Amino acid sequence: MKQSTQALIPRLLQRLTAQVGVYFLFAIAMALGLFLSVLMLQSGDRVNAVTQPLVMRLVPSLHDISDLKTLVTERQVILNQYFAYGLSQQQFKEKLQINHQRIQALIDKARSKWKTAPQHLALVASFQNTQLVAEKLDQIMLSEQPDLDEARALLVENAIDTKDILNQLDEAFVLASQNIERAGQVSAQEVQNMIRLVLTYSLAILIIAILVAYYIHARQRAENRLAYAARHDRLTDLLNRSVFESDLAELNQQPHAAILISIDRFQRVLGGLGYEAGDELVVAVKNRLQPVVQQLGGTLYRFEGTHFAALFALNQPQYPQNLLPYQALLHALNEAIHVAGHELFATLSMGGAMYPKDGANAIDLIRNMDAALEVVQAQGGNASQCYSLEMNAKAVERLAMEAELRYAVERDELLLYFQPQTLIPSLQVIGVECLVRWQHQGKLVPPFEFIPLAEESGLIIPIGEWILRTACQQAKAWQAQGMPLVVAINISARQFQHPKFFALVQQVLIETAVDPQLIELEITEGVVMQDADHTIELLQRLRGLGVMLSIDDFGTGYSSLSYLKRFPINKLKIDQSFVRDMDSDQGDAAIVEAVIRLGHSLGLTVIAEGVETAAHLAALEQLGCDELQGYYFSRPLPALDAQAFLQKQLLPESIQ
């Protein structure tokens, strides 16, 4: 409970200072100070109202009363001395006159303070009566035969009056003392109030000072956190790209090796396990790489996405490429990584460059590392590559090619070539596979040069639509000419996964009015296995349109037989890499035989591509393959040449 309370106070202070701000606290302090100052002025006025009468009237009045008592007593003594002949008449008059003047002065002084107060009037009357007694006594004492009894009676009367005067003065003294005491109490109370106000203000200033100090401390902590966040990656806590760039700027041309690292096939993890699992994988890879990089004396950075970077100091002036610790980094991921309850084997692609040889600034160095990395990724990943000058030239060439490829459809630069497919062993033409070419700047660009670029840039979507529509139009034209051939159309991965692919096929079939059974869609083995359940649903919908379906490049992927038997396909296409060396490589021959048996057991037609020799044909015929495609029968032909070739193969001479 105590700990929770202690933790609550800083949170309340933090919330208060965050909401009101330090300037508001200063304003509160100033307003409170002004308010307390007004209160202290008012309290001071009250103290002054009490002490001023005390100083100006009550305290002097005590002194005056005391002096009056002394003078009144002295007058009585003067009269007695004169009666007892202790004073001569002249001495009597002199002393009496001095006494009279002093008493008169005190009475006049009291008149301005007491004015018509009863005590003042009684004192004046008593003083006047004493004057008369003194005059009568003087007359008696100056006569030839003084009447001593009468004089004695006057002295007794004067003694009584003197006693009354002294009693009155005592009462006035007591009353003044009481007033002074009350005034002192009021003044002391007001002074205490002023002290309390000062203490209250001091306490308020102390609290505000604590709040301001806490605010400044909290702000410093927040600024430190922001400064830390500006330099570090939130997920991995590694230094980020901006720090890499600043560190590189401070190297002063000292040789360093830099490696750009990317996690291979990361999108599969995101698609299969989600983004949280992706974050776990990134952190796990960081935990594997960082000890290796630190052991080699380098620094590991986190760039955006799946990219890391490592920077190593070099002592060799010639920057040999073998100084780059590629293998050590690759071996860091040899063991499985457990992510979201799954065991994953991650691999890396790495592109390295030398500073300052391959880039004297961060922009150039990162660009060149990325160029090397792209080469590795294009080759399938799990490898490394050092930068070379040719890579930039190829990258620029690819950018230029991509820019030109964007206008290929509208400029009518794309062409379809057709390669016949025949039955075994009769070699009767039963279909063609359409292959796209790009007629660019007077040169025929083969598909392996621009199709990967189209896939990467997304241009394969409009290009694939053009191929599908043009192939269906050609199939319709051949059907009208009496040559009903099955036209096989390659469907790219990106095209097949597009959400509008089914709608496009349906629309093109309707627009071209082609017989759907003459259209065969070829999909690679890897594509159909990326999301098998979704693929099965989509293939069934396509089969519902009446089109034929085949799996291209079969044997190069990782098909599961449990899924393969559920795919509504018509044909398996053996990849040419197995057919090319089957007459000399027993392993390839065994794979071809296994695929043919598998296809037949599933009730599928099996076609072999890449058939180039009579030996290939004989071997395939012996194994029971159904169809072939390759240079042995015909190369891919442009539309006009394909038209002539097919007419010669299929139509009677009278029609030709």
pLDDT surpassing 60 at residue 3: no
DSSP 20-50: HHHHHHHHHHHHHHHHHHHHHHHHHHHHHHH
Task: Output the pLDDT for position 507.
Answer: 95
The angle subtended at Cα 170 by Cα 166 and Cα 174, nearest 5°, is: 170
Nearest-angstrom CA–CA distance, 371 and 352: 9
Q: Over the stretch 252-294, which tens digit does the pLDDT of each residue have?
A: 888 888 999 999 888 878 777 888 888 999 999 999 999 999 9
Reading the block at residue 122, the tokens are 């009684």
Contact 90, 136 (CB under 8 A): no
Of 486, 513, 376, nearest to 423 by C-alpha is: 486
Helix, coil or strand: residue 440: strand
Neighbours of 590 (CB within 10 A): 12
Mean pLDDT of the 501-509 span: 94
Six-digit token string for 213: 């100090």
Please list, in sequence order, all residues whose beta carbon lies within 8 angstroms of the beta carbon of residue 544, skipping any fewer than 6 positions away: none
- Phi/psi region, residue 114 (left: phi>0; alpha: psi -120 to 50; beta: rest), is alpha
Cβ neighbors of 643 (< 8 A, separation 6 or more) are none
Is the confidence at residue 654, as pLDDT, over 50? no
CB 137 within 8 A of CB 82: yes
Q: In the predicted model, what is the mean pLDDT of residues 165-175?
A: 77
| Separation CA 389–CA 415 (nearest Å) | 34
Sorted by sequence, the CB contacts under 8 Å of residue 411 that are 6+ apart come out as none
Look at residue 6 in the predicted model and tell me its pLDDT. 52
- Residues β-bridged to residue 215: none
DSSP code, position 504: H
Summarize the confidence of residues 169-174 as an average pLDDT: 76
* pLDDT value of position 129: 78
pLDDT computed for residue 541 by the predictor: 93
Let me know if 320 is exposed, middle or buried by CB neighbors in 10 A (0-12, 13-18, 19+).
exposed
Sign for the pseudo-dihedral over CA of 638, 640, 644, 646: positive
Answer yes or no: are the C-beta atoms of 251 and 299 closer than 8 Å.
Answer: no
**pLDDT winner (highest mean) among 182-196, 265-279, 385-399:** 265-279
End-to-end CA distance of the chain: 101
- For 468-504, the pLDDT digits (tens) are 999 999 999 999 998 999 999 999 888 888 889 999 9
Contacts for 366 with CB less than 8 Å, ≥ 6 apart: 260, 309, 359
Per-residue confidence band for 516, with pLDDT thresholds at 50, 70 and 90: very high
Peptide bond preceding 425 in cis form (omega within 30 of 0): yes
Is pLDDT larger for residue 186 or for residue 118? Answer: 186
Around Cβ 408, how many Cβ atoms within 10 Å?
21
3-state secondary structure of 123: helix
State the greatest distance between any 2 C-alpha atoms of the chain, in Å, as a whole number.
200
Residue 530 pLDDT more than 50? yes
Looking up tokens 């990849």 gives 575
SS3 317: coil
User: What confidence category does residue 627 fall into, taking pLDDT thresholds of 50, 70 and 90?
Assistant: very high
Residue 522 phi, psi (nearest 5): -100, 125
For residue 481, count CB atoms less than 10 angstroms from its CB and return exposed for 0-12, middle for 13-18, buried for 19 or more: middle
- Helix, coil or strand: residue 415: strand
pTM above 0.75, yes or no: no
Q: What is the pLDDT of residues 403-432, one digit of tens each?
A: 888 888 788 888 999 999 999 988 999 999
Residues, the chain, total? 656
Provide the phi-psi class of 423: left if phi over 0, else alpha when psi is between -120 and 50, else beta.
beta
CA angle 474, 478, 479 (to 5 degrees): 115
CA distances from 10 to 13, 18, 107, 218 (A): 5, 12, 72, 10
C-alpha 69/C-alpha 164 separation (Å) is 11
Distance CA(85)–CA(82), nearest Å, equals: 5
Q: What average pLDDT is seen over the chain? A: 81
Cα dihedral 524/529/531/532 (nearest 10): 110
d(CA 391, CA 378): 13
**Residue type for position 531:** D
Give the phi and the psi of residue 351 in degrees, each rounded to 5. Answer: -125, 125
The CA-atom distances, in angstroms, between 646 and each of 425, 442, 537, 608, 610 are 18, 27, 36, 20, 20
Burial class (CB in 10 A: 0-12, 13-18, 19+), 542: buried
Task: For residue 627, give the nearest of 435, 488, 429, 486 by alpha carbon.
Answer: 429
CA atoms of 164 and 123, how far apart (whole Å): 9
> In the numeric block, which tokens belong to residue 284?
């796990």
Residue 180 half-sphere exposure toward CB, CA atoms < 13 A? 16
Q: Is the peptide bond before 446 cis (omega within 30 degrees of 0)?
A: no
